[in-house]
Amino acid sequence: MPTLVDKPPEGDGWLHEVKFDGYRSQIVRDAGGVRIFTRRGLDWRSKYRDLAKAAGELEVESAIIDGEIIVTNEAGISDFAALRKAITRRQHDLYFVAFDLLHLNGHDLRDMPLEDRREILAETIPEGERIQFSQALSGDAKAIFHLVEQAGLEGMVSKRKDSKYRSGQSTNWLKTKCYSIDEYELLGVEREAGKPAFALMAERGTGRYVGSAFITLNREMRERLWKRVQEHAGPPPKGMRRPATQWVRPGLIGRVKHLRGEEDLRHTSLQDFREDAG
């Protein structure tokens, strides 16, 4: 599991890949057939029938392949919302992007350097099929990240070329994620003396609470926000109880900067707010 960092590592000792927005999974092929395990160890081969079939057609006796199950949108970018629908409705839209090889034909490869494991993996994966190889991105880390951000991708993963494969959290694998700015409905403001103030945000249209955003506004805007909050004061949403929170009626919209590719808000800050025009 890669460790989240603010910026990608520099130097020739790192390999950089696109961070795909999907379900981390491992394909296991052995004498018992094909299984596809989730991060929590559940076998979802019945949910990924087409991918299991593709794995069964690989020209190997046995293998454990690490990767990400994705669906791409019209721009060719992995789309997490579409992925959840595709699992139940459009199996043919699923792809498995393979980025590491742990075992092959009875041999444990985990102590081999990453570069060598990936070279073997690339030779194992045929081109143009449902299981694809995650190509490394060439160039300077800063330039790669800039292009990844401009393309609207979730981020990038950087891996030490000479690293062994080890389970669990690792600093040999680092992920750098891009930020997005989107609008959410303001549910209320949490203020306690001596602590930072937070805006509680909900998904527009559904009212589903998605997290809190650190209020980074300047003094004038903070005062204007608090005035609007008091003017729109209302009861808490059903089932929500938080101390030191002034809840508001629907009608205030906040622009929030947050990490891409997260179901709920992470590393967030309130950039601006407005009243809903309808």
CA distance 190 to 133: 46
251: left (phi over 0), alpha (psi -120 to 50) or beta: left
CA distance 133 to 96: 8
For residue 155, give the 3-state DSSP assignment.
strand
Q: What does the domain layout of the chain look like in residue ranges?
A: 2-177, 179-275
- Global pTM reads 0.77
28 close to 164: Cβ distance less than 8 angstroms = no
Which numeric CATH code is attached to 179-275? 2.40.50.140
- Superfamily of structural domain 2-177: DNA ligase/mRNA capping enzyme (3.30.470.30)
CA distance 237 to 260: 26
Alpha helices in 131-171 (DSSP H): 141-150
Tens of each residue's pLDDT in the chain, 278 residues: 999 998 999 999 999 999 998 999 999 999 999 999 999 999 999 999 999 999 999 999 999 999 999 998 877 778 777 887 888 878 788 999 999 999 999 999 999 999 999 999 999 999 889 999 999 999 999 999 999 988 888 899 999 999 999 999 999 999 999 988 899 999 999 988 888 889 999 999 888 999 999 998 888 988 999 999 999 999 988 888 887 899 999 999 999 998 887 778 888 899 999 988 65
CA distance 188 to 202: 10
